[in-house]
Amino acid sequence: MGVTGAAMRRKYVPDLSRQMAQCEANYARMMKLLPDLDVCDHREFQVYWKAHQVVVRLEVEERFAYTSTVLVKQLHESGSSWLTTPTLVVRLYHDATMAEVICQKSRRQLSGVYGYPNRDMHHPDEKAQLNGYLGEWLNHCLNHGHHNEPVFV
């Protein structure tokens, strides 16, 4: 008796410990880049890769007692925007010291798990991938980014 390919595929189960660790690390990175979050409205980092320059902009959209919302955008040098990059909407949970991508600016809130295939062609682990993507950009800003304005803590 043969088993079909669909029956062999395992359902995606999120690794909550890993996701929480990623969100905690992203919060720590975000606070290093925006230590003056309560008074800073935005900060831009110039990041160089080979002959290209990208500006990563962190823009504070909302501030509340226990949460803040930050938009993470990539601004490309003029003339090289042939590929659009996502604007990530990141929720910072100050009491839990976690930062999580909740959606992309042009879409509705992300689910933790998607069935596959789905109408919007999300990966089963779309949210985990975007949180990893955020971590990579924040790390890159910390390690290689330059900004011209002084940071006041």
Nearest to 70 by CA among 86, 54, 89, 53: 89
Confidence category of residue 138, pLDDT binned at 50, 70, 90: very high
Q: Report the C-alpha gap between 68 and 49 in whole angstroms.
A: 30
Say yes or no to pLDDT of 150 above 90. Answer: no
pTM comes to 0.78
Torsion of CA 44, 58, 25, 140, to 10 degrees: -30
Q: Report the C-alpha gap between 99 and 92 in whole angstroms.
A: 4
Q: What is the pLDDT of residue 53?
A: 79
Instruction: Please write the tens of the pLDDT for every residue from 43-83.
Output: 999 988 777 778 899 999 999 999 999 999 988 665 555 56
